[in-house]
């Protein structure tokens, strides 16, 4: 395997930061002890039971009917955070702005709104706007919020090319906010790509955080160790690289990429037998992914280097057969993607908000579904998928809003309800149209990202074909040389 290919794998691993640690601006957890309104309390329990979309629909209805009382701002902050996650960015920014600019209410609420405003502006790539939002914040932030504020400032300054100012603004690395930790991870990766040693220090500190019950914190820690391990491979330090790759949890979805890297670390030391221990394990796994295609070539490469030329040729030929079949299946998958594949797949999987994504990791028989794990390797596709499904779920909840109106009626005077129903329905229609529009745009983006991903892999597979031909030729030549030596 050429150095160019190994570096391509390294670049692939460094790009995995967005898969598990969502960059969406949100702080969606209610603070239960602050809730006094029964409707907000009911929505809170609904949310905690896993039905976020029903909770949102209830709060939108209650807000329009002016039934939230002193908890109105807390509910609106929750709604704005979730609008941001759903891709309704301008709606979220408008809600944050209204909360931040109001003259009544506690300063802590206004500061929280400005902070969320800055986070969303950062996610949208509007660095100047993010920094401007931070200037409005006073002194009422919690410790976790202060870490988020400083991480926003550091990330925005770095993107603006002000590296020294960004480094000076860095907060102490801890696990108080997974959102801030994700930004610090991005800063570390960006600095490493520019060969700045501070990037390695940041990733090292993230990678050595203690075990956490927060799944996002653990995922970011795995990503930091993975990125640092591959960056050390790139500069020819396989021993040090192994120290970081070994820290990636075996149950992590990144463990496969870590195993691939472990193989490369031993291959760099010309210990091909040990490299094969890791690569043969990966080769036997059933579903396709980016690391899987690299492994199909890494195994015969190591076999040839170890002198097992016949086995190397057999593995190369098996890889060629698999690539030919997958290339054809990808063409069929593209046709399905351009039709109604994603709406059908989403409607066919469980409606639970937790665990549904794991369903997509199974390998169905249909070719268009067989590549879903491959698509999910792309952070942009996964983010688009999550947002599209969320919009479908929220739209379904809005369509059944009448049941939530009934829940509101139990807490309110009937004489007040009649005057509000028409206004509520108008609000429902307005939000519904916004969601429909966002859903169509998200579906378009989802299809485009899927097609781009498959085309990118088809181009990669075409390159693999040339490498297979070269590898087979080398293995044949090596086997012939060994045979001739043995006859002398």
Q: What is the pLDDT of residue 478?
A: 79
Question: Distance (Å, rounded) from C-alpha 187 to C-alpha 294?
Answer: 28
Same domain as 470, residue 369: yes
pLDDT digits (tens, 9 = 90+) for 114-170: 999 999 999 999 999 999 999 999 888 999 999 999 999 999 999 999 999 999 999
- Residue 169 within any structural domain of the chain: no
Question: Distance (Å, rounded) from C-alpha 149 to C-alpha 147?
Answer: 5
Query: For residues 77 and 29, is the Cβ–Cβ distance under 8 A?
Result: no
Same domain as 448, residue 342: yes
pLDDT digits (tens, 9 = 90+) for 165-213: 999 999 999 988 999 999 999 999 999 999 999 999 999 999 999 888 8
- Residue 300 within any structural domain of the chain: no
Same domain as 356, residue 459: yes
Same domain as 470, residue 362: yes
The CA-based angle 359-364-366, given to 5 degrees, is: 135
pLDDT digits (tens, 9 = 90+) for 226-282: 999 999 999 999 999 999 999 999 887 788 899 999 999 999 999 999 999 999 988
Query: For residues 454 and 381, is the Cβ–Cβ distance under 8 A?
Result: no
- The CATH number given to whatever domain includes residue 260 is 1.25.40.10
- pLDDT tier at 23, thresholds 50, 70, 90: very low
- Residue 376 within any structural domain of the chain: yes
Segments forming the whole domain that contains residue 189:
176-284
Same domain as 348, residue 274: no
- Residue 387 within any structural domain of the chain: yes
- Residue 467 within any structural domain of the chain: yes
Same domain as 468, residue 355: yes
Same domain as 228, residue 341: no
Residues sharing a CB contact under 8 Å with residue 127, sequence separation 6 or more, in sequence order:
121, 155, 156, 159, 160
Same domain as 265, residue 181: yes
Q: What is the pLDDT of residue 171?
A: 94
Query: Which among 96, 75, 81, 61 has a CA at the least distance from the CA of 31?
Result: 75
Question: Distance (Å, rounded) from C-alpha 10 to C-alpha 294?
Answer: 11
The CA-based angle 456-460-465, given to 5 degrees, is: 150
Which of 254, 269, 284 is at the close of a domain?
Answer: 284
Core vs surface per residue 160-186: b (16+ CB within 10 A) or e: eeeeeebbebbbebbbbbbbbbbbbbb
Which of 284, 300, 315 is at the close of a domain?
Answer: 284
- pLDDT tier at 110, thresholds 50, 70, 90: very high
- Residue 98 within any structural domain of the chain: no
**pTM (2 d.p.):** 0.78
Which of 241, 264, 284 is at the close of a domain?
Answer: 284
Number of domains in the chain: 2
pLDDT digits (tens, 9 = 90+) for 466-488: 999 999 998 888 766 544 443 33
- Residue 217 within any structural domain of the chain: yes
CB atoms within 10 A of CB 251: 8
- Residue 255 within any structural domain of the chain: yes
Rg of the chain (C-alpha set): 26
């Amino acid at each position: 395997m050429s150095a160019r290919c190994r570096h391509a794998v390294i670049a692939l691993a460094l790009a995995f930061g967005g898969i598990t640690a969502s960059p969406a601006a949100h702080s969606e957890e209610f603070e239960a002890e602050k809730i006094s309104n029964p409707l907000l309390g009911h929505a809170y329990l609904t949310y905690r039971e896993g039905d976020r979309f029903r909770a949102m629909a209830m709060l939108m209805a209650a807000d329009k009917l002016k039934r939230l009382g002193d908890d109105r701002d807390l509910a609106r902050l929750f709604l704005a955070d979730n609008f941001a996650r759903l891709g309704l960015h301008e709606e979220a920014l408008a809600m944050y702005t209204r909360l931040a600019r109001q003259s009544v209410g506690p300063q802590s609420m206004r500061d929280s709104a400005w902070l969320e405003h800055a986070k969303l502006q950062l996610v949208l790539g509007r660095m100047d706007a993010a920094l401007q939002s931070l200037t409005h914040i006073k002194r009422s932030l919690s410790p976790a919020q202060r870490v988020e504020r400083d991480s926003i400032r550091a990330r925005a300054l770095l993107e603006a090319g002000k590296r020294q100012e960004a480094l000076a603004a860095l907060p102490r690395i801890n696990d108080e906010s997974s959102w801030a930790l994700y930004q610090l991870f991005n800063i570390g990766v960006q600095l490493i790509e520019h060969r700045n040693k501070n990037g390695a220090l940041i990733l090292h500190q993230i990678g050595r955080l203690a075990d956490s019950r927060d799944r996002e914190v653990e995922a970011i820690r795995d990503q930091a160790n993975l990125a640092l391990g591959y960056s050390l491979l790139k500069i020819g330090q396989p021993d040090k690289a192994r120290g970081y790759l070994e820290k990636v949890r075996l149950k992590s979805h990144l463990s496969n990429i870590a195993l691939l890297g472990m193989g490369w670390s031993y291959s760099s030391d010309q210990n091909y037998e040990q490299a094969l221990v890791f690569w043969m394990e990966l080769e036997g796994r059933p579903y396709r992914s980016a690391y899987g295609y690299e492994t199909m070539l890494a195994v015969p490469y190591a076999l040839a280097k170890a002198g097992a030329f016949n086995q190397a040729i057999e593995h190369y030929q098996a890889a060629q057969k698999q690539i030919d079949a997958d290339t054809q299946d990808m063409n069929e998958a593209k046709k399905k993607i351009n039709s109604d594949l994603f709406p059908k797949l989403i409607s066919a999987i469980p409606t639970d908000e937790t665990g549904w994504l794991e369903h997509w990791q199974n390998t169905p028989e249909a070719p268009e579904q067989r590549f879903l794990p491959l698509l999910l390797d792309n952070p942009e596709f996964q983010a688009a998928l999550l947002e599209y499904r969320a919009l479908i779920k929220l739209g379904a909840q809005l369509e059944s809003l009448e049941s939530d109106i009934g829940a509101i009626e139990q807490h309110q005077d009937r004489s007040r309800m009649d005057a509000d129903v028409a206004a509520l329905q108008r609000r429902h229609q307005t939000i519904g149209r916004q969601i429909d529009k966002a859903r169509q745009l998200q579906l378009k983006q989802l299809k485009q990202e899927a097609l781009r991903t498959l085309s990118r892999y088809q181009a990669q597979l075409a390159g693999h074909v040339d490498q297979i031909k070269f590898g087979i030729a080398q293995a044949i030549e090596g086997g012939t040389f060994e045979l001739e030596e043995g006859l002398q």
